[in-house]
Structure formats: structure tokens, C-alpha cells
Structure 1
Amino acid sequence: MRSIQGSKKEKMAAVAALREAKIATAYEPFPWEMKMRELLPVPDKSRFLSLLLLPMATDGTQTRYNSLDDTLARADAWLASCRCSGVPVRLVRFQTEALLTKITGETAVPTVNMLSDLANLSNVSLYGFEDYHGVDIGMVRAVRLWYAPSGAAGETSLEMALRQGDTRLGFSINRTKEGFIYVSSVADESTPGVASTRSGLLEMHRAARRAGKLLVLSRVGGESVLPWLVSTAGDVRCYDTVSLNQKLSLYRHALRPVTLHFLAWDDGVLPPLPPPPPRSPVIVLSTPSESDIEELDGDDDGDGPGPGIEGGKGFQNIRLPDSWR
């Protein structure tokens, strides 16, 4: 009898102890630098790509914005335009991000009161609240578009080694309306004294054209050259081709090898695009001026600017004098 009572007391004590028991926390040091250097496809660089789209401002005071639906539609249109242009990217997901801003004047009161109307709050781009000091604080809802290269490899790299006798790098770059920088032309095998002939860049460029893709630069010397922001005015923040050309030319003058990374693609990853409507053709080629033709002479392989790239002011092949290249 005593043994039965003793076992009951032990069970009750164990149950009570189990109820009170907590799993302790611990700290495990992780070799971040080594793992980032050895395991990432691009050492010390993330392969997660994104574009932050701010809502479109409806006036110059930056206090009224279009709806969240409008920002999502812009993100969707940007991604669709990338595919039409031949940029090898695919959607990963969308998410909204809240950015703090100060709101005053006529916008403040209705924006703060909007918090009581939860039905309308879901699609607004700006909502607000009053803090303890009586200052109206606004939350602007931006859209973060996460995307990835369409190829399973993500990015592919190429090292361009420079020699004393090199007179040019041997390739030219251009920029799409979506803000991506791509290799628009590469010197062929008959052009002497160019680094691109030895590096294999010509073969990559031809392979991209055969696949109907652009050879898009993602990093130069480990530094990202991808677009990253759409402003409230609708402009895409991206990298300048003139300054990038200058930096590439400095690699040649310093005889320092430069590693170029490109967005990879796989055949058949993207479904075929529907034909564009007649009133808005996808491909619009501009007519080059005589000066443009003279600058391109001897440095183009005759393949042209690439698939689906719209011409126009600000998106011509931006070239530097031979002294730079």
C-alpha cells in the first residue's frame, strides 16, 4: 500500500516538475566569415535580389500617394517588362514594407483618422498615427519585389585578365529601361589586342543571343550593378554606364584582372510570352547617328543591341574615346 502511495507521490512530483521545467538557452559561435567566403556562390555576397518600389506621389508635397494596388501593379509591370526585354529573371515573391515619414497640414488629420477604418486601410499607401508629443507620423507602404535569375546556377562568373599590349577591353555595355546593364556587343576573333577575345566573353554573348536573352551584368569586381529602387516619381535607381565604363577602363590601365558576374539562364525556364498588342510593340529600335556609327566601328561583332531593347534618349550605346579603352 505504501509503495502505491509512494509511486503516486513521485508521479505527481514529476508532473509538477515537468510543468515548471524550462529548456535553457545557449550560444553557439558560428564561423560567419569562413562560411560566407567558402559556401556562397559569390564570396561574401548574398544571392537574394530585390527591388524596392515606393508608391507614386500624386503631388509635389510627398504627402499623397497612389494606392497599394497601384504600387503592386507597377512591380508586376516592371517584372513583365524585364522578361520582354530578355532579362533572365523570375519572380520569387512580393512583400510590403512600412517606411516612416512625417505628415503635416491637411493630410495629417484624415490620414491619422484612417486607422479607424480598417476596411480602407488594406489598400492605402499612407496611413498615420499621432505620437506622444503630438507629432503626426506617417507610414508609407512600399513594395519589395524579390526576384532571382531564371537559371538554376543563379550567377555565372568570368575573369578577364589584362595584358600589357591590350588596347581595349573589347566589349560595350548598354542599359535597359528596367535599369539592368548588359553587354551589347563584343569584339570578334579578328580584333587584335582585346581582353574579351581571350576571356570567353564572346562565346557567352553569342550563347545569350541564341537563347533570346541579354547578357546582364550583375556584379563588377564583386560590386553589384543591379537596379535597387523605384522612387516616388517613378524613376528606377540604377547604375550609370559612363562611370562603369570608366572603372572598367581603369582596370585595363592598371593591368588588374576584373571578375564579371552575369545573371544565368536555363532554356525553357520561362514560358513563352504572349504576342504584344499592335498598338504597343515590344521592340523599338532607334536609328543611330553618324557619330554613333563611327564610334561603334571596329568594336561591334555585328550582332546588334540585343533582343527587345527599346531605343531612345539615354539608352544609346554609351562609348568612351579610344584613349579610355
Structure 2
Amino acid sequence: MMEQQEDGRRKREMAAATAGEAQVVVLECVAGSSKAEEWGGGGGVVQEGDVVEAVRVGRGGSGAAVLEAPFKGGRAALHKAMHAAFKRGDTSVEVRVRGGSELQACILPHSGGGSGSGSAAGGGGKKQYVLRSLHDPNYVLGFVDRLESECLLLQGTRSTRVASALSRAQLQDGYVAYPWEKKMRDSLRMPNSSSYLSMLVLPKALDLNSCRYESFEDTLARANAWLYSSQVSGIPIEFMNVQSEALLTKISGETASATVNSGSLSDLSNVTNATLYGFEDYHGVDIGVVKAARLWYSSIAEEMLLEIPLEEGDTRLGFAISRTEEGFIFISSVVDNDKEYEAPSTRSGLRDLFNQAREASKLLVISRVSNEKVLPWMISSSGAIRCFDTISLSQKLSLHRLAVRPIQLHLLMWEKPSGPVERIIRSPKLPPQSEIPQVPWNLIESIEPRVDVEEDYVGDLSFRLDDPSVGSSWV
């Protein structure tokens, strides 16, 4: 296409030479501006298609050159002068066009492509130069050889030039620096830790070798059952979203032959509800894809930070922790008979929170300890729930007491805080008592050994059972 245009231009030049029409050097727009005067000709601004009458290259020193039309050699002569000025570091240029308008600009090299000798960006393999306006750095022009009759085509009308520039305009992208450390420290409720909560549910395996799995619908049903059971147990969480999540694994033998397909369109419909499918990579290795379900949930009223201050002489923290069947750790008991010497749980307001939570038929669930999440995070293909152990957590809390270092607990809330800690949890407006689902204490998992009440506070770690069906770790 470009070659055809160049041939047509050369033919017009030959015809013009025969008719006596002279060639002139005109300005050609390389990069347009968004300012209105660049398109409308206001304010004495030079325009694309203006005929060049004089060019001053340099600031006026010994190397400065003043070239006037007609230019011997045309555009090539002007480029030679600009090349010499650019090499000596004198890039100042003044251009006067027909009609009296002037352009003050600087010389800069241009790497744009072009195939014709008459193009401002062309010229074979030689270094090319353009002019950047000092009035508007976005306005870039170049010199080009044209016939006077062609100048009108370059100039055109304002509407056609703007429409042409609009069709050629392209949006540019790039990278910007971002202060991640500062944002993660200052903008998050828990510095450097997200508030997104999720549970990964793997498909149930149908054999010991995990070669066959239940359908994806079964996986979604298990995720739904876990969420609903958690809510019934008194966990203050609500559903946000659920999505499929692909996990790569290596397969072989019968599993590979049964799952790796040819990739035809007819096989795509079978993948929709399948939890294991495969493909063969470039090296001939069979890769399996296990489709799990990622359940996203959140606290009904976000998380609240409760700090438990410790003092020298504290012999116990004054509360016990247990774990539900769904894997959540919660405060199961708090001491009440500490009038002579207040336990840390009383000083911090934890006892009042616990009592008000029980009145609201909710569990006081611990979501983080020292900003580390202690929530369940995965349901395996065997059905077991990956969660944290209450014994090891009790030991860590006891070590805080021995080191006299304050404990930071984050609790899942169901009402937004509205006052001091002791009044943070207020009983919500609930339906009649007969319609309220009571906390199913029989769902609480007990893994700690049963001990006598008299041994509650023996050693650094002790245990107590308030209810025959509840196992609690006292600290």
C-alpha cells in the first residue's frame, strides 16, 4: 500500500515538473496535541501542511545556520543542518511558515517508521529528526517534501483533521509505583493480613488411591452443609461466594486413560460436573486436574481486637477454649469467682463479652491469636477438617502468661461495636425464644482428657469440663 502511494506521488511530481509546478518543504504532524489551537489555527500556531519559508538552526553561535526557501536539496538539506546541530548539542530551532506564523521548537531524534523519502519519519536507514514544540511538548512536527497542490490535502479542514487524528489515537499503558508496605500497614484493620475468610473443600474420594471422586455437585453440597452447620452452631458468619478451584496433580495408569481425552468439543460438557479430568503436556506427562470448591465467607460484623493485659503474679488467664465440629475455636468458659484477685479475662472485659454472647445464643469465636489466623481452612478428600489444635493453642497462651506479654485475640462479631468493650456486644432483636435455635453443645468436639475439678489449675496448662459433652482447655 505504501509503495503504491509513493509511486503515485512520484508520478504527480513528474507531471508537476512538466507543468512547471515547484516542490516545497512543508510541515507534517508526527504527534498531535489535545489543545484546541493546534487544530483550529488560533494564536498563530503553525499547522500541518504549512509551507516552510525559513529555518534557523542553532542559537546564533558559530555553528548556527539560517536557511531560506527555496531550499537546495529540500527536506534533506534541513535534516543535514539539524543533524549537525544535534551532534554539537545545540537543538534550538525556529521555523517561519508562509503567512507569518512561527514555531519555536527543539530537535529530537525520531525512531518512527516510514518508507517514502517524502515522509517526515522516513528516509531509509539514516537517523531522522523531528521538531518538538516548546509551546506544547505533545505537539511534534517534521519536514516533508510536497508539491504546493498537495499542501491543501495535508491541511484539509479542522473537522477532517481531528477525525483522522481520533481514528489514529491509541491509549497507552504503563506501570506506576505503589507504596505496598505503607498501605498494608496503615489501611488494613489487621496490618499485613487480609480480612478474607475461606474454606477449601476437596472432592470426596471414592477409593483409597484417590483415583475416583464424587461429582462437583457433591462437593458444593458439602461446602453448603459445613457453612449451614457452622451458623446453626452459633458461629457468626455469613456466605459471600463460592467458586471452583483447580488443583494440579500427576496421574497415571487407569486413571490417566480414563480422564485424559482428545480435547474435542463433545468432551467439554463432561468436564462441567467432573471433579477429576486430565490432559497430556508437551512432554507426554499425564496431568490431572482436581476440581475443588472454595467457599468464601465473612464475619457478620467483621472482627474485633481484644487485648488481654498480663501482670506479674497472674497464675491463670481465667478462660477455657474448645472447638466445634466444624473446626472453629471459641471461648467455652470464663471464671466468675475471682473477686479477691481479678483474672486477666475479667480485667480485659472478656468475661462480660462471654456472658453477653451466651445471652445472644452465639459463640465467642477466636479468629486470630497475635494476628495469626486460627480458623479451619480445608476439608480433605477423606472428609476430615484441617483446623488448629486447642491443646497447642492453650500452651501458647500459657507461655504468654509466663512471659508477661499481652495476648491479642481477634473475635468474630455479629454486631458492630458501639461503645466501651464491656458494652460492645448487645443482644440483637431476636424472634421469640421458642424459635431461636439453641447452641447445639453436643456438636462440640472434645479431644482433651477428663480431669478432676480440683486439678483445674495444676501446672502451666490445665483442663476442666463444664458440660459432659464439652471438652475445654483452661489457661
What TM-score do you get using the length of structure 2 for normalisation? 0.58
Establish whether residue 194 from structure 1 lines up as the match of residue 343 from structure 2.
Answer: yes
Alignment equivalent of 1:57, drawn from 191, 197, 205: 205
Does the CA-based 8 Å contact 1:165-1:193 persist in structure 2? no
Q: Distance in 2 between matches of 1:22 and 1:285?
A: 62
Does the CA-based 8 Å contact 2:376-2:386 persist in structure 1? yes
Q: Distance in 2 between matches of 1:13 and 1:269?
A: 69
1:284 aligned residue: 442
Task: Report the 3-state secondary structure (helix = DSSP H, G, I; strand = E; otherwise coil) of the residue aligned with 1:94.
Answer: strand
Note closer, same or farther for the CA distance 1:285–1:131 as it changes in structure 2 (3 Å cut): closer
- Which 10-residue stretch deviates more, 164-173 or 283-292? 283-292
1:322 aligned residue: none
2:280 aligned residue: 130
Note closer, same or farther for the CA distance 1:11–1:269 as it changes in structure 2 (3 Å cut): farther
Task: Report the 3-state secondary structure (helix = DSSP H, G, I; strand = E; otherwise coil) of the residue aligned with 1:239.
Answer: coil
Does the CA-based 8 Å contact 1:186-1:301 persist in structure 2? no
Note closer, same or farther for the CA distance 1:268–1:45 as it changes in structure 2 (3 Å cut): farther
1:95 aligned residue: 243
Give the Å deviation of 1:120. Answer: 2.1
The residue type equivalent to 2:406 in the other structure is P
The residue type equivalent to 1:23 in the other structure is L
Q: Distance in 2 between matches of 1:30 and 1:50?
A: 27
For 1:165-314, what aligned pairs fall within 5 Å after superposition? 165-188=313-336, 190=338, 192=341, 194-266=343-415, 267=428, 282-284=440-442, 291-296=451-456, 304=466, 311=469
What are the superposed Cα offsets for residues 160-187 of structure 1, whole Å, 9 maximum, x if unpaired? 1110011101111000010000000011
Alignment equivalent of 1:147, drawn from 277, 285, 297: 297
Establish whether residue 318 from structure 1 lines up as the match of residue 473 from structure 2.
Answer: yes
Which has the larger strand fraction? 2
Give the Å deviation of 1:290. Answer: 6.7
Note closer, same or farther for the CA distance 1:3–1:136 as it changes in structure 2 (3 Å cut): closer
Note closer, same or farther for the CA distance 1:142–1:273 as it changes in structure 2 (3 Å cut): farther
Q: How many pairs does the alignment contain?
A: 304
What are the superposed Cα offsets for residues 297-320 of structure 1, whole Å, 9 maximum, x if unpaired? 899999x56xxxx94xxx62235x
Task: Report the 3-state secondary structure (helix = DSSP H, G, I; strand = E; otherwise coil) of the residue aligned with 1:127.
Answer: strand
Task: Report the 3-state secondary structure (helix = DSSP H, G, I; strand = E; otherwise coil) of the residue aligned with 1:95.
Answer: strand
Does the CA-based 8 Å contact 1:115-1:128 persist in structure 2? no
Structure 1: which 5+ residue stretches go unaligned? 320-324
Note closer, same or farther for the CA distance 1:51–1:289 as it changes in structure 2 (3 Å cut): closer
Q: Distance in 2 between matches of 1:300 and 1:200?
A: 22
Task: Report the 3-state secondary structure (helix = DSSP H, G, I; strand = E; otherwise coil) of the residue aligned with 1:318.
Answer: strand
Structure 2: which 5+ residue stretches go unaligned? 1-149, 416-427
Give the Å deviation of 1:85. Answer: 0.7
Does the CA-based 8 Å contact 1:115-1:121 persist in structure 2? no
1:158 aligned residue: 306
The residue type equivalent to 1:85 in the other structure is S
Task: Report the 3-state secondary structure (helix = DSSP H, G, I; strand = E; otherwise coil) of the residue aligned with 1:46.
Answer: coil
What are the superposed Cα offsets for residues 10-59 of structure 1, whole Å, 9 maximum, x if unpaired? 54443333222222223332222222222211122111100111111111
Q: Distance in 1 between matches of 2:434 and 2:330?
A: 21
Alignment equivalent of 2:182, drawn from 31, 34, 38: 34
Q: Distance in 1 between matches of 2:463 and 2:350?
A: 13
The residue type equivalent to 2:473 in the other structure is I
What TM-score do you get using the length of structure 1 for normalisation? 0.83
Task: Report the 3-state secondary structure (helix = DSSP H, G, I; strand = E; otherwise coil) of the residue aligned with 2:312.
Answer: coil
Q: Distance in 2 between matches of 1:205 and 1:282?
A: 17
The residue type equivalent to 2:197 in the other structure is L
Task: Report the 3-state secondary structure (helix = DSSP H, G, I; strand = E; otherwise coil) of the residue aligned with 1:22.
Answer: coil
Note closer, same or farther for the CA distance 1:290–1:80 as it changes in structure 2 (3 Å cut): closer
Alignment equivalent of 2:260, drawn from 105, 112, 121: 112
Q: Distance in 2 between matches of 1:104 and 1:273?
A: 56
Q: RMSD across aligned C-alpha pairs, in angstroms?
A: 3.4
What are the superposed Cα offsets for residues 92-143 of structure 1, whole Å, 9 maximum, x if unpaired? 0100111101111111122112854222211110111111111111111010
Task: Report the 3-state secondary structure (helix = DSSP H, G, I; strand = E; otherwise coil) of the residue aligned with 1:162.
Answer: coil
Give the Å deviation of 1:294. Answer: 4.2
Q: Distance in 2 between matches of 1:300 and 1:51?
A: 29
Does the CA-based 8 Å contact 1:185-1:301 persist in structure 2? no
- Which 10-residue stretch deviates more, 114-123 or 61-70? 114-123
Does the CA-based 8 Å contact 2:324-2:443 persist in structure 1? no
Note closer, same or farther for the CA distance 1:91–1:274 as it changes in structure 2 (3 Å cut): farther
What are the superposed Cα offsets for residues 192-223 of structure 1, whole Å, 9 maximum, x if unpaired? 25211101000110111111110000011111
Note closer, same or farther for the CA distance 1:7–1:292 as it changes in structure 2 (3 Å cut): farther
What are the superposed Cα offsets for residues 144-173 of structure 1, whole Å, 9 maximum, x if unpaired? 00000012xx00111111100111011110
Does the CA-based 8 Å contact 1:53-1:75 persist in structure 2? yes
Aligned residues with identical type, % of pairs: 47
